[in-house]
């Protein structure tokens, strides 16, 4: 048996959970604030990315685990985002280019 790698403390987990809850509440609130409409999409994507990162870093322990795991996941994620952006922009304008 090998020792378990050091993970966050219960206190840290609770703090992360509180932050996740607050961000979720913020996400819900900002869609009703009209003055934020011009920046709503980047704002929501940023909040979402923040939540994503918190769960992956602390709950999935990537912050505490060996670096190759981070490389494995992050490189797959970046490549997947790149391909997804290409597919998502398929109708009308493919990638950022007009047909």
Partner 1 sequence: MTNGNTGAVAGRRVAGAEPRTVYHSPPAVLAGLASLATTVDHKRIGILYGVTAFAFFLLGGLEALLIRTQLLRPHLGVVSAETYNALFTMHGTTMVFLAIMPLNAAFFNYVIPLMIGARDVAFPRLNALSYWIFLAGGLFLNASFLFGTPPDAGWFGYANLTTRPFSPGPAIDYWMLSLQILGASSIIAAVNFIATILNMRAPGMTLMRMPLFVWMALVVQFLIVLAFPAVTVGLIFLLFDRFFGTHFYDVSAGGDLHLWQHLFWIFGHPEVYILILPAFGIVSEVLPTFSRKPLFGAQVMIYSGILIGFFGFGVWSHHMFTVGMGPIADSAFAIATMIIAIPTGVKIFNWLATMWGGRLRPSVAFHYAAGLVALFTIGGLSGVMHASPPVDLQQHDSYFVVAHMHYVLIGGSLFGIFAGLYYWWPKMTGRMLDERLGRLQFWLVAVGFNVAFFPQHFLGALGMPRRIYTYSRGSGWELWNFVSTLGAYVLGLGVLVFVVVAIRSLRTAGARASGDPWDGRTLEWRTSSPPPAHDFDAIPPVYGRDTFWREKYGDARGQKPAPRVETPDPHGIHLPSPSGWPLVIALGLAVAAFGAIYHLALVVIGAGLTVIGAFAFALEHHRNPAHVEQVGNLGVDHRKLAMWTFLGSECFLFGTLIATYLAYKGRSVVGPQPHEILNIPLTTLSTFDLLMSSLLMVLALAAVQRGDRRQARLWLAGTALFGAIFLAFQAYEFTAFVHEGLTLQTNLFGSTFFVLTGFHGGHVTIGVLWLLALLVLDLRGRLGVQDATKVEVAGLYWHFVDVVWIVIFTVVYLIP
Q: What angle do CA 25, 45, 7 make, to 5 degrees?
A: 70
Q: Which of 11, 28, 34, 35 binds partner 1 (CB under 8 A)?
A: 28
Rounded CA-CA distance 64/44 in Å is 28
Which residues in 1-99 belong to E strands, given as ranges?
93-94, 97-98
Rounded CA-CA distance 85/78 in Å is 11
Cα dihedral 61, 65, 69, 73, rounded to 10, equals 20
Kindly tell me which of 2 and 35 has the beta carbon lying closer to partner 1: 2
Q: Is 52 in the site for partner 1 (CB under 8 A)?
A: yes
CB of 95 to partner 1, least distance (A): 6
Residues of this chain that bind partner 1 (CB under 8 A): 1-2, 4, 7-8, 10, 13-14, 16-17, 20-21, 24-25, 27-28, 31, 40-41, 44-45, 47-48, 51-52, 55-56, 58-61, 65-66, 68-69, 72-73, 75-77, 79-91, 94-95, 97-99
């Amino acid at each position: 048996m090998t020792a378990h790698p050091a993970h966050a403390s219960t206190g840290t987990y609770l703090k992360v959970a509180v932050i996740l809850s607050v961000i979720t509440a913020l996400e819900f609130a900002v869609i009703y604030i009209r003055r934020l409409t011009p920046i709503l999409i980047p704002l929501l994507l940023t909040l979402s990315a923040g939540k994503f990162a918190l769960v992956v870093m602390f709950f999935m322990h990537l912050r505490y685990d060996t670096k190759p795991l981070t490389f494995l996941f992050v490189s797959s994620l970046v490549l997947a985002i790149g391909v997804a952006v290409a597919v998502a922009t398929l109708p009308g304008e493919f990638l950022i280019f007009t047909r």
